Amino acid sequence: MGEFRVVLVEPEHEGNVGAVARAMGNFAFDDLCMVNPCPIGDEAFKRAKHAGHILSDATIVGTFEEAVEGCSLLVGTTGIVTYGPKNYTRISMPAQELAARVADHEGRIAVLFGREGLGLSQEELSRCDLLAHIPSSDDYPTLNLSHAVSIVLYELFQTKGRHGARNPISSEEERELLYKYFARLLAAIDYPDFRRENTEVMFRRMMGRSVPTKWEFYTIMGVIGDAAKLIEKEKEKK
C-alpha cells in the first residue's frame, strides 16, 4: 500500500483538527495537510493528546492544488450518496471498499475531507479520482469530521500490512495528461459541448475506480492519444 496524505479542506473547529491528529496517530498516519484552516491553538493540541507532533508538523496551504501536489491518486469523501446512471459524477464507494481497492498500489494518495458545514465543493469533488462515503443511517447520515476521518483511516489501517505494493500507479501529471488526451478526443469527434464536462468527469471517475497499473495506464493513454491524432488528421484533409 502507498503512502497517504490526510487533507482537511478549510476545517472550521480546532477541536476537530486536534481529534483528527489523534486518530491519525492511532492508526499510524502522519502526513496532515490543511487548506486555509481555522486558527490552531491550545484546544487542538489538547484534543490531539499524544499526537501533537502531527499538528506541529502539519502542512498548511492556501489552495486545493497545493494540498494535492505530488499525490498520485485523489480520494474525496462525501456524506451524500447517489445512485443510478444519471448521477455518475457523485457515485461513491464505502470506505471499506476503498481500502481494498487501493491496497496493492504504491504512490502517495490524498484522502480529502471537506468543511464541517458544507463538505467538499462540487468543483473539488470533480477533481477527485475516487469518491468514498461511510455507510450510516438515512435519518442522520452526516458524521462529525473527526469521526469520519477515524473510520476511513481505520479501514485503511486494516489493509496496510496485508498487501505488498506491487503495482505502481500513474502520477498526477500523467493522469492529467490522459484527461487532456481524452478531452482532445471528444473535441476531435465533435462531441456535444453540453455533455462534454460531465463525460470528462465520468471518465476521470472510471479511471479512478479501476486504479490501473502504470503499464495499463500508458496503454490506454496511447490508444486515446493516437485516435485523437488520426481523427484530427482526417478532418484536416477535408
The answer to whether the pTM exceeds 0.85 is no
C-alpha cell at 182: 481524452
Task: Give me the pLDDT at residue 165, please.
Answer: 46
pLDDT of residue 164: 47
DSSP 8-state symbol, 165:
-
CA angle 121, 126, 130 (to 5 degrees): 110
Q: For 72, which DSSP code?
A: S
Element (H, E) at 41: none
pLDDT band at 206 (very low <50, low <70, confident <90, very high): confident
**Domain assignments of the chain as residue spans, ordered by start:** 3-168, 172-237
Q: pLDDT tens for residues 143-179?
A: 999 999 999 999 999 887 554 445 566 677 788 888 8
Q: How many CA atoms lie within 13 A of 91 on its CB side?
A: 16
Confidence tier at 91 by pLDDT (50, 70, 90): confident
Give me the architecture of the 3-168 domain, per CATH.
Answer: 3-Layer(aba) Sandwich (3.40)
Per-residue pLDDT at 2: 62
The 3-state DSSP class for residue 167 equals strand
Interval 2-53: pLDDT, tens? 689 999 999 999 999 999 999 999 999 999 999 999 999 999 999 999 999 9
Q: Which residues contact 58 (CB under 8 A, 6 or more apart)?
A: 21, 32, 33, 34, 40
Percentage of the chain lying above the pLDDT 70 cut: 89
pLDDT tens digit string along 108-125? 899 999 999 889 998 999
**Nearest to 113, CA basis, from 40, 188, 11:** 11
Instruction: Tell me phi and psi for residue 61, to 5 degrees.
Output: -130, 170
Q: Are 5 and 113 in contact (CB under 8 A)?
A: no
